[in-house]
Amino acid sequence: MAEDLVTYETDGAVASITLNRPEVFNALTDEMFDQIVAFVRQAEADDDVKCIVLAGAGRGFTAGFDLSSPDDFYGGAETKGGRFAVAGLRRRAWVMRDLLYSAKPIVARVHGPCIGAGLYLVLVCDFAVVTDDATFGLPEERFGSAGTSWLYPMLASQIGLKRANELVVTGRKFDAAEADRLGLVNRVVPAEELDEAVAQLTGALSSLPRDGIATGRTVAHLAYDILGIGQSFTPHYGVHPLFVMGTRRSPDEFDFHETSREKGMKGALAERDERFGGDYWGW
């Protein structure tokens, strides 16, 4: 059932939202994004809930956005017009904004792969507890695309411009230890200790008074506005698709979408990995 792509449950003061496509490492779709936001709204409206956990079922958090149909990523804009790309990216940008500005604190519970849009979700959560075998990456450039533009201000403010450039422009993979050093996560624990570590954090959050949580969230949102983080979403959907759709590549340059049309998904992934393999990339 489509409604089971993301699940929701509560346990005392904690609401849990779980990505539920384990057979494909919880590859994300627009329908799943919509369900995540709907469940966050449900938790916000429930006065018994004080915090939210965002998790992934199965062997990992999420492998990122589902690219099984590459032409769908921009809403068929290549043939129907750029407005469809703008509409699609606006929809996804608002998902990230809605999570960032949630009225209840959100804890990302991360294990295994946390790639692309999965890392976006971690960045807009308030806390992240991850296993020591978790892996991260922003691989858009390896698809012959472009780094996500809304991410730059948030990432640069957290880890510095040079590190942000490296992670976004190269798209290399990095491990939980590096994510911890960069300040992108709160705690790194062995896999067998993940649930306990998350429970400790949500227990602490649940001990706070409701009005205190509401005030704290408001102050955080004011800080985001002062730092300009909340202003980065509109340029993303307004500018990013137009740049990407206008990108032209010479015959020796890799274009994942075009290659997938010619060789299929497996062929495109194989060529991508051949071009961008090696120790530096980490893939």
Percent of the chain with pLDDT over 70: 87
Residue from 140, 192, 271, 274 carrying the catalytic annotation: 140
DSSP-derived secondary structure for the chain: -GGGGEEEEEETTEEEEEE--GGGTT-B-HHHHHHHHHHHHHHHH-TT--EEEEEE-TT-SB--B--SSGGGTTTTHHHH-HHHHHHHHHHHHHHHHHHHT-SS-EEEEE-SEEETHHHHHHHHSSEEEEETT-EEE-GGGGGTS---TTHHHHHHHHH-HHHHHIIIII--EEEHHHHHHHTS-SEEE-GGGHHHHHHHHHHHHHTS-HHHHHHHHHHHHHHHHHHTGGGSHHHHHHHHHHHHHT----TTS--HHHHHHHHHHHHHHHHHHHHT-STTT--
Please provide the average confidence, as pLDDT, over all residues in the chain: 88
Give catalytic status of residue 271 as yes or no: no
Low pLDDT (below 70) residues in the chain: 1-3, 69-82, 144-149, 236, 238-247, 283
Render pLDDT for 3-24 as a digit per residue (tens, 0 to 9). 699 999 999 999 999 999 999 9
